[in-house]
Structure 1
């Protein structure tokens, strides 16, 4: 372990650590994290922004005695922004608290405990506000987190957001896309089989509805934080809206909050990471996104990825991008989802410097925007 240095937080290179706003777009074109540079962008499509995100760089432990690192989170909400906002405000602090208690460094155990604690805290909030805000029971969020520390990368995912690595192919200048996260969407055949195997006595656990596979005919993702109405039967009743209520009770959670976790030792060929909600991947392939990042300047690269996705969305509906950009939030959702992108560049020299010490940085995508 290294000893973390605590210094006052400072603003980013552009003098605006909170990011900037252009209509429905929030962005921070370029900033510095512990191991290199990063770029963030968020475009709203829903009536209220349901995507939340964050990048934290500095001490990973609440007591500031453990090693430093960079934490990246993308939280793609559904059923309103309550769950994604809550995760954005609590997951990293739960991770830091659990990390301090463990003392042996970042681990799968620490990450899973952070997810579990955040889930428990949100369900407790739903219970507390059940009679006054029953709609919170139908709010949930996909949750993608990445932690870089001591030359290692940990990727945890519950839902269908995605993390992709850009890695230079040996002996060439070509940058290949390597998907790092498993997706939990029942439109993927292997995920349908997994859900059915966990609920063998429910023939209706996954059904086709409106030409899409859905868990209980309602939701496509099989893992999330929140969605209390599909976790505990006590929330699947009045006063919750009828459309969310199942005709029969259930005795075990229908959705899971446990993330899939992958662990990677960062290699010299690893150039950058793309963390994004499925709004991006709906329109761009892994390789297309990696090609854009590897072939363009770093400054504003997250915005460039968002624009590329919007171009594809407009093309599919046979309209011009300029016309799509005039459509207001809410109506815009018929053309594309909220899209969040965080590009994290990896500087090998900084990664190899185990005694590295820098000012803490915390930035939350779109949080300071009141759309």
Structure 2
């Protein structure tokens, strides 16, 4: 299956690089690039960036990113090692603080817990998520007096880890992990690996109502969209 993914990435990479050929790590050197690399004939866009194919423990990876806003609320992360590959996508809401905090702390918690236990497992991944959330809540409590808007910050968190040939996927929010593989007749097949946490889903709304029976406004239809307290769609049911 993974070899099929690599073939698919190689197939997609050609057309993508015309629009996202800038390596963010080399932004400072962009003025030194030759004209031969400018396939589209236009200038580089700072909201589009990518990284070429690189090796990891079980194959190769590459990525392309299109930022939604000039102020970066979203962050991503790729870490590779001898036995594992870690990929994180953090979709921030209301500001960059939450997604930035996750980027700076989640992987470190995971490494600490994995070293203590000598392995990576579902429970260790859950513990890393919990430790990161506890750390951000501590930051909010400490900072909200001088920076009250930090209490309105949030972030989805989507993580994939390949550890000794096993793929672990964890998701909070409505970012989505999809795996592709070559199926019958050599066609690429996609399969969603994660479950969305979004108030647009009837199952999520029912669960929220059952958890908050005294709050008739826990989910509200606003501007044709179901929202939690009429504010936001994304949720994590706790």
Q: TM-score range by the shorter chain?
A: 0.7 to 0.9
Name structure 2 gaps, 5 residues minimum.
1-20, 31-43
Larger relative contact order (CA 8 Å, sep ≥ 6): 1
| Residue 201 of structure 1, CA deviation | 2.7
2:188 to 169, 175, 189: 175
| Residue 193 of structure 1, CA deviation | 1.7
* Alpha-carbon distance in structure 1 between the residues aligned to 2:24 and 2:113: 27
Task: Kindly indicate whether the alpha-carbon contact (under 8 Å) linking 1:34 and 1:58 is maintained by their aligned counterparts in 2.
Answer: yes
| Residue 116 of structure 1, CA deviation | 0.6
1:107 to 121, 125, 131: 121
1:133 maps onto 2:156 in alignment: no
Q: Which residue of 2 aligns with 1:334?
A: none
Task: Kindly indicate whether the alpha-carbon contact (under 8 Å) linking 1:56 and 1:72 is maintained by their aligned counterparts in 2.
Answer: yes
* Alpha-carbon distance in structure 2 between the residues aligned to 1:19 and 1:141: 27
* Alpha-carbon distance in structure 1 between the residues aligned to 2:26 and 2:187: 32
Task: Kindly indicate whether the alpha-carbon contact (under 8 Å) linking 2:49 and 2:65 is maintained by their aligned counterparts in 1.
Answer: yes
* Alpha-carbon distance in structure 1 between the residues aligned to 2:211 and 2:235: 11
Q: Which residue of 2 aligns with 1:83?
A: 98
1:69 to 80, 84, 93: 84
1:172 is paired with a residue whose SS is helix
Q: Which residue of 1 aligns with 2:217?
A: 204
Task: Kindly indicate whether the alpha-carbon contact (under 8 Å) linking 1:82 and 1:139 is maintained by their aligned counterparts in 2.
Answer: yes
Task: Kindly indicate whether the alpha-carbon contact (under 8 Å) linking 1:195 and 1:222 is maintained by their aligned counterparts in 2.
Answer: no
| Residue 19 of structure 1, CA deviation | 5.3
1:191 maps onto 2:190 in alignment: no
* Alpha-carbon distance in structure 1 between the residues aligned to 2:136 and 2:72: 19
Q: Which residue of 2 aligns with 1:39?
A: 62
1:123 to 137, 155, 158: 137
| Residue 109 of structure 1, CA deviation | 0.8
* Alpha-carbon distance in structure 2 between the residues aligned to 1:19 and 1:27: 10
Q: Spell out the pairing of 1:205-354 with structure 2 (5 A cutoff).
A: 205-223=218-236, 256=238
| Residue 17 of structure 1, CA deviation | 8.5
* Alpha-carbon distance in structure 1 between the residues aligned to 2:161 and 2:210: 31
Name structure 1 gaps, 5 residues minimum.
1-13, 60-67, 224-254, 257-371
| Residue 174 of structure 1, CA deviation | 1.2
Output the aligned Cα RMSD: 2.0
Q: Number of paired residues?
A: 201
* Alpha-carbon distance in structure 2 between the residues aligned to 1:99 and 1:76: 25
* Alpha-carbon distance in structure 1 between the residues aligned to 2:87 and 2:26: 16
* Alpha-carbon distance in structure 2 between the residues aligned to 1:178 and 1:28: 24
Change (3 A) 1:87 1:19: farther
Give the number of the structure whose residues are more often helix, by fraction: 2
After superposition, the C-alpha distances for 1:58-113 in whole angstroms (9 at most, x for unaligned) are 16xxxxxxxx200100000010111111111111001111112223x221110111
* Alpha-carbon distance in structure 2 between the residues aligned to 1:198 and 1:37: 44
2:65 is paired with a residue whose SS is strand
1:143 to 138, 157, 177: 157
Q: Which residue of 1 aligns with 2:73?
A: 50
| Residue 162 of structure 1, CA deviation | 0.8
* Alpha-carbon distance in structure 1 between the residues aligned to 2:204 and 2:54: 37
Give me the TM-score of the superposition, normalised by structure 2.
0.79
Change (3 A) 1:58 1:91: same
| Residue 129 of structure 1, CA deviation | 1.2
